[in-house]
Amino acid sequence: MTEGSSSTPLELRSGARARYLPAHSGVWRVGTLVRPSANDEEWLVKNEHGRFWVHVSRLRPADGPLPDH
């Protein structure tokens, strides 16, 4: 695998699992994508903590590598 490549692409579809970085925390969590916002810039993500709107820039594949930061 080359630097910067990802083995698992992010699927932006209802029911897909994704990792997300909450705005209030530096801890990555896993949730299920529910639906996109009207402008497709955010997705409603649900997990055991509730439902949250998450910007697409904070979403990663559930099984893929995480950023270093």
pLDDT digits (tens, 9 = 90+) for 24-46: 888 999 999 999 999 999 999 99
What is the overall mean pLDDT for the chain? 86
DSSP code for 22: -
Query: Whole-prediction pTM value?
Result: 0.79
1 confidence band (pLDDT: 50, 70, 90): very low
The structure tokens listed for 56 are: 């697409």
Is 11 within a domain?
A: no
Residue 49's domain comprises 17-61
- Please state the domain count of the chain: 1
pLDDT score of 57? 93
Is 46 within a domain?
A: yes
Q: How far is CA 14 from CA 1, 26, 31, in A?
A: 29, 25, 11
